[in-house]
Amino acid sequence: MPQKARIRARAALLRAVFEKAGASPVETSLLQPAEVLLDLYGEDIRARAYVTSDALFGEQMLRPDFTVPVVQMHMDHGAEPARYTYSGEVFRRQEQDLSKPNEYTQVGYEVFDRENPSAADAEVFALIQKALGTQELRAATGDIGILKAAVAGLETTDARKAALMRHIWRPRRFRALLDRFSGRSPVPTTRSALLALDAPEDHDFVQIGLRSRAEVSARIAVLREDAKTPPIAGSQVELIEAILNVRQKLPFALEHLRDIAVDMPAITEAVFCLKDRIEALETRGVDVASLEFEASYGRTSMEYYDGFVFGFYADGRPDLPPIATGGRYDALTRVLGQGREIPAVGGVIRPGLLLELEGAL
């Protein structure tokens, strides 16, 4: 059987597992309006997706994943609660590595359910683990919600918290901002020079472009305010670092985070969510004692995940990407829902990688 046919056959089997679990099969278009994806991911998506265009529909992208169109479809006319499954090809632009495929098959399972998010997290994880079969795969898990709660609970201004929150998925800039706000890195000389002026807005530069004088003044006001704000305490930065460094088996990670929550009560709620999820996973028969938890897992390249995140890896094959990935994306439903929102969690399996591991390709 040729490669593509094998992958399709395996995808059909996986989808059957998901259908049996109660999911309705759905289809999405290969061509997706670029505007929605650009709005969500920004310019970075252009490096990852193929863009094409015509004079009538404008820019279109070859489906880089299913989650966005499935969420849109559900938000437009889905009944609640809902479980969906799909299988098909996604397309990823490759510029750095010729060995990475630019087109591959994904089979997914997505749950939109307002009741009991922990149970839904566990349902998706356990179902995907079961669908992956007997393969020896290592599961990695994380929870972006804990870091978000920690940032929200920092003792500092809302402006600083918002700036940190905006860069949770860009670890380098997050770090730079945290260093700046805590006084660990010096204020740039250009900024102190600007703030030293009594009336910086009195200048002779020609006013050009859309960004108005008022917008510049507003930012200067923000910078002034920020300069007056005391630095974030070193102890708080250390707690954020302690959270980011949590990397243990799940039960130990929970204990560790509980300890941190004593000094940072803001994460208590999020840590309770983790505890609920662990219990829900156990109820589903998942061996939580051997499950890894990494608090910073999923901070790169998965920008729409904002709670539970997971991935399944083939340990002997560091050359392969994760065989399956998934997570919770409540915020995405809010962005795409135009005023409505619903807790949602899902995951995808790459049947081509499964076959490769089994030596069948």
What is the binding site for other proteins (CB under 8 A)? Answer: 38, 42-44, 46-47, 95-96, 98, 163, 166-167, 170, 172-174, 176, 180, 188, 190-191, 194, 200-201, 203, 205-211, 213, 215-216, 218-220, 222-223
- Nearest residue (CB) to other proteins, 130 versus 219: 219
CB of 200: closest distance to other proteins in angstroms?
6
Contact 92, 100 (CB under 8 A): yes
Minimum CB separation of residue 93 from other proteins in Å reads 11
67: left (phi over 0), alpha (psi -120 to 50) or beta: alpha
- Give the residue with the Cβ less far from other proteins, 16 or 177: 177
Distances from the Cα of 21 to the Cα of 25, 83, 109, 131, angstroms: 11, 9, 10, 11
Rounded to a whole number of angstroms, the minimum distance from the CB of residue 94 to other proteins is 9
Give me the least distance between CB of 213 and other proteins, in Å please: 7
| List of residues 6+ apart from 51 with CB closer than 8 A | 34, 59, 60, 61
- Beta bridge mates, 112: 82, 344
Closest CB to other proteins among residues 155, 215: 215
- Helix ranges restricted to H, the chain: 3-20, 34-41, 44-48, 67-77, 117-131, 144-152, 158-166, 171-181, 189-196, 213-228, 234-244, 250-263, 268-283, 330-336, 351-357
Least distance to other proteins from the beta carbon of 218, Å?
A: 7
In this complex, which beta carbon is closest to other proteins, that of residue 174 or of residue 304? Answer: 174
Nearer to other proteins, 95 or 198 (CB): 95
- What whole-number distance in Å separates Cα of residue 120 and Cα of residue 341? 16
> Nearer to other proteins by C-beta: 235 or 301?
301
Q: How far is the CB of 101 from other proteins (least distance, A)?
A: 16
Q: For residue 81, which amino acid is it? A: P
Show the tokens assigned to 315.
């340990």
| Host H or E run for residue 140 | strand 138-143
Closest approach of Cβ 43 to other proteins, in Å? 5
Collapsing DSSP to helix, strand or coil, 141 comes out as strand
8 or 93, CB closer to other proteins? 93
Q: Which is nearer to other proteins, 97 or 115 (CB)?
A: 97
Backbone angles phi, psi at 180, to 5 degrees: -65, -50
Nearer to other proteins, 126 or 177 (CB): 177
Closest distance to other proteins from the beta carbon of 305 (Å): 17
DSSP 304: T
Q: Are 64 and 48 in contact (CB under 8 A)?
A: yes
Q: What's the min distance (Å) between Cβ of 205 and other proteins?
A: 4
Cis geometry, peptide bond prior to residue 117 (ω within 30 degrees of 0): no
The two structure tokens encoding residue 31 = 């061509």
The SS3 assignment for 64 reads: coil
